[in-house]
A and B are shown apart, each in its own frame.
Chain A
Amino acid sequence: MTARLSWLAPWLAFALILIAAPRVFPSPTALTMMSLMGVMIIFALSYNMLLGQTGLLSFGHAVYYGLGGFVAIHTMNAVIHNKLGLSIPVIPLVGGLAGLVFGVLFGLISTRRAGLVFSMISLGIGELVSSSSFILRTFFGGEEGITTNRSKLAPFLGHKFGPQLEVYYLIGVWCFVCVVAMYALTRTPFGRMCNAVRENPERVEFVGYSPRMVRLIAFCFAAFFAGIAGGLAAISFEIMNAQQLGAQQSSLVLLMAYIGGVGSFAGPIVGAVIITYLQIMLSDVTSAWQLYFGLMFIAVVMFAPEGVVGWTMLHLRALRGGVAWRLAPAYAAVGPALVATGAGAIMIIELANRQLAEARSEGSAMRLFGFDVDASTLPPWIVAVALFAAGTILVLRLWPRVGDAWGAVNARLHFRGEG
């Protein structure tokens, strides 16, 4: 009995978190942020249907998110204008269907080829749509975008979705449903075919499937869910503009999925939460936050391609096997060196940012890690560069130990038949 129901546990936990989150963090800022997180979870998971499941690296996924959002917002305005009986909770579905329509249209062109050609085409289509948005002004609203007022739609069971809390719960419900649906999809034969197309399209053809068809269907599903996310964003922010479908938004979703980890289903969820949090919090702390995003992304690509979730899973496996202690000495040695490198890098970036970008308007004096320093004087720079250099040299020296420790751990796990 317990074994049969244990698969329910993570879903119950997920639902509980979604329900309890606004009671733990009731402030308006937190509510807005959590609403955005819910939207981004759907968006990032839809992206991973392409990148993680089917092996298609897209640089233009925001097109379907944005177009879904625009169609949703126009639908809302039409409903208000004509006093139609449509209420808010079905609007995301309208966004999803719009995403699906454009997904079929552009998917037919772009899924003919996989690999790098697909990436280039997705980039081209992304640019095509975002540069058209400055021409088709009636639809995209030019620079200002299109606005709406969600509380003017017909109430749903007495709720008018005026307060952000109600919107949060709407997003929560949609988020839960979409996550379950996308997870279920990975368990179907179609989901398995997607993985097969990712691994070896030639063999898929031999089995009698068309890799192109599988890619196209996956693309349409991804566009559909991205459209739902866009529709929810339109409801939550009551505005849509051309930025939402541009290259920046497409890059952001790639960052989320990749930093979270494209190899596991939960990766993009974690990535969406982390990146959304950092995006809002980090931009308050430093004006160079986008640079940190870029560096973080490069670090993940180079050193931890399995992403945050994949990395954690590796360690959990070692922990469950009872051999995690073998990693401890190597980690204890390399940890402080890594911290020194990171701290040095942050200091260099912050000092440079202050001296180069902000000194003229705000002066060169600043607070750094709790110390008052002046970015125009030499001492803080010396400390920063010394920390970074010493840390880097130590990390390079000590890194082989981590590799050896992992070798020992994997050998042990393999020996026990768990590898």
Chain B
Amino acid sequence: MLQLITFSTLNGVLYGMLLFMMASGLTLIFSMMGVLNFAHASFYMLGAYFGFEISRRIGFWPGFVLAPLLVGVIGALVERYGLRHLHRRGQVSELLFTFGLAFVIEELVQMIWGKLPVDYRVPPQLDFVAFRLFDTTYPAYRVFMLLIAIAMFAALLTVLTRTRVGLIIQAALTHPDMVAMLGHDVPKIFMLVFGAGAALAGLAGVIAGPALVTQPDMASLLGPILFVVIVVGGLGSLTGAFFASLLIGLVQTFAVAMNFSFAEVLGPVAPPFLGDLWKVTIAELAPVVPYLLLVLVLIFRPTGLMGRRES
């Protein structure tokens, strides 16, 4: 039991930090530009596939550096030549554009790398056992992922709160007109933030690719969960997104680890119409958990955990 709790906590925090790597970019982009980027998970997928392609040709570490940069450049181009023209038409147009983009990216990835998962491997330098606890081993690559995620978190926090760039970004969040009046190029800041957000998602993809599965539907599987994270956290709240990421990471990981069903706990007699629900294990329910959480949060706290804005 103790073993289960320890490892599920570790994995849950890891998954949560990965979610936050993407949710942070999504939240920043949303609160700055009012754009809900449907294609954010697609940038994550692009990161994984670029990482795979580069690691196959040159090696893992060049891919680790280059793939997020490439994804960042693509993100900046999308903002410059697509979203910027739609900005004056409002949020729905922008959302629809990124929705179409996600669709196109998925089809392109399928065309280029095929519909089956690709063989994106953990680099040999990190392919060893980090530690052994209660007779279970924990791979070093996961520790590496956790360290990268924490480093990224620290870097983001430092940039946003301690540097001049972060100051301008924070100012542009609430008073874009005033920032422009002071002589800053606000569209350029938007482009950079969008690119940086995409690069962060790309980085998450590069490091998650070898540990999880790199396949064309990884974006459409993860995308909805990301939106759950930012709605549960409260739209536009970075702190909220952080706690929601950890919450969903932990809840889902613990659910996966629980291998018993309602029937075993509450007795074999199921209430009418719930026969199936009684038989499945909690682990099988794991994919539904984030969405149930979303519904519950919306019923009891419609603005999300830390959200203040009504819309």
Shortest distance in angstroms between B151's beta carbon and chain A's nearest beta carbon? 30
Contact of A128 among B89, B104, B231, B292 (CB under 8 A): B292
Contact of A124 among B93, B220, B231, B285 (CB under 8 A): B231
* Alpha-carbon gap, A182 to B220, bound state (A): 33
Interface size class of A (residues with CB under 8 A): 35 or more
- What would 22 A/B residue contacts be, using CB atoms closer than 8 Å? A57-B92, A59-B99, A109-B295, A113-B311, A116-B311, A119-B36, A119-B95, A121-B294, A121-B298, A124-B294, A125-B291, A128-B288, A128-B291, A128-B292, A135-B276, A135-B284, A136-B276, A291-B108, A298-B100, A302-B82, A302-B86, A357-B111
Say yes or no for B129: interface residue by CB 8 A criterion. no
Chain A residues within 8 Å of B111, by CB: 288, 291, 352-353, 356-357
Contact of A294 among B86, B104, B285, B310 (CB under 8 A): B104
Say yes or no for A388: interface residue by CB 8 A criterion. no
* Alpha-carbon gap, A185 to B203, bound state (A): 50
List 10 tightest A-B contacts by C-beta distance, closest first.
A128-B291, A294-B103, A294-B104, A291-B107, A298-B100, A297-B100, A124-B294, A127-B224, A131-B287, A136-B276
Contact with B along A252-268 (1 / 0, CB 8 A): 00100010000000000
Say yes or no for B257: interface residue by CB 8 A criterion. no
Say yes or no for B269: interface residue by CB 8 A criterion. no
Say yes or no for A112: interface residue by CB 8 A criterion. yes
* Alpha-carbon gap, A74 to B69, bound state (A): 52
Say yes or no for A305: interface residue by CB 8 A criterion. yes
Contact of B280 among A55, A115, A135, A353 (CB under 8 A): A135
Say yes or no for B96: interface residue by CB 8 A criterion. yes
- Is the CB–CB distance between A124 and B291 below 8 Å? yes
Nearest residue, chain A, Cβ from B107: A291
Chain B residues within 8 Å of A113, by CB: 302, 310-311
* Alpha-carbon gap, A120 to B231, bound state (A): 7
* Alpha-carbon gap, A353 to B109, bound state (A): 11
Say yes or no for B161: interface residue by CB 8 A criterion. no
Chain A residues within 8 Å of B275, by CB: 138
Chain B residues within 8 Å of A109, by CB: 295, 298-299
Nearest residue, chain B, Cβ from A124: B294
Say yes or no for A132: interface residue by CB 8 A criterion. yes
Looking at chain A's contact residues, the main secondary structure is: helix
Say yes or no for A331: interface residue by CB 8 A criterion. no
Say yes or no for B1: interface residue by CB 8 A criterion. no
- In chain A between 122 and 158, which residues have their CB closer than 8 angstroms to a CB of chain B? 123-128, 131-132, 134-139
* Alpha-carbon gap, A120 to B223, bound state (A): 11
Say yes or no for B97: interface residue by CB 8 A criterion. yes
* Alpha-carbon gap, A297 to B97, bound state (A): 8
- Is the CB–CB distance between A302 and B298 below 8 Å? no
Contact with A along B51-87 (1 / 0, CB 8 A): 0000000000000000000000000000000100110
Contact with B along A290-305 (1 / 0, CB 8 A): 1101110110011001
* Alpha-carbon gap, A331 to B90, bound state (A): 28
Contact with A along B198-222 (1 / 0, CB 8 A): 0000000000000000000000100
Say yes or no for A281: interface residue by CB 8 A criterion. no
* Alpha-carbon gap, A119 to B186, bound state (A): 27
Nearest residue, chain B, Cβ from A132: B288
Shortest distance in angstroms between A317's beta carbon and chain B's nearest beta carbon? 21
Contact with B along A267-295 (1 / 0, CB 8 A): 00000000000000000000010110111
Say yes or no for A247: interface residue by CB 8 A criterion. yes
* Residues of A in contact with B (beta carbons under 8 Å apart): 55, 57, 59, 109-110, 112-117, 119-121, 123-128, 131-132, 134-139, 247, 251, 254, 258, 288, 290-291, 293-295, 297-298, 301-302, 305, 352-353, 356-357
Contact of A298 among B97, B292, B295, B299 (CB under 8 A): B97
Nearest residue, chain A, Cβ from B220: A247
- Is the CB–CB distance between A115 and B285 below 8 Å? no
Chain A residues within 8 Å of B292, by CB: 128
Known: A247-B220, A293-B103, A294-B103. A302 touches B231 (CB 8 A): no
Chain B residues within 8 Å of A123, by CB: 224, 227
Most chain B C-beta atoms within 10 Å of own C-beta, residue among A112, A120, A251: A120
- Is the CB–CB distance between A117 and B235 below 8 Å? yes
- Is the CB–CB distance between B93 and A305 below 8 Å? yes
* Alpha-carbon gap, A139 to B280, bound state (A): 14
Shortest distance in angstroms between B21's beta carbon and chain A's nearest beta carbon? 19
- Is the CB–CB distance between B89 and A116 below 8 Å? no
Shortest distance in angstroms between A403's beta carbon and chain B's nearest beta carbon? 14
Shortest distance in angstroms between A285's beta carbon and chain B's nearest beta carbon? 16
* Alpha-carbon gap, A134 to B295, bound state (A): 19
Chain B residues within 8 Å of A298, by CB: 82, 97, 100-101, 104
Chain A residues within 8 Å of B110, by CB: 357
Chain B residues within 8 Å of A112, by CB: 298, 302
Chain B residues within 8 Å of A119, by CB: 36, 95
* Alpha-carbon gap, A294 to B298, bound state (A): 32
- Is the CB–CB distance between B235 and A127 below 8 Å? no
Chain B residues within 8 Å of A138, by CB: 275-276
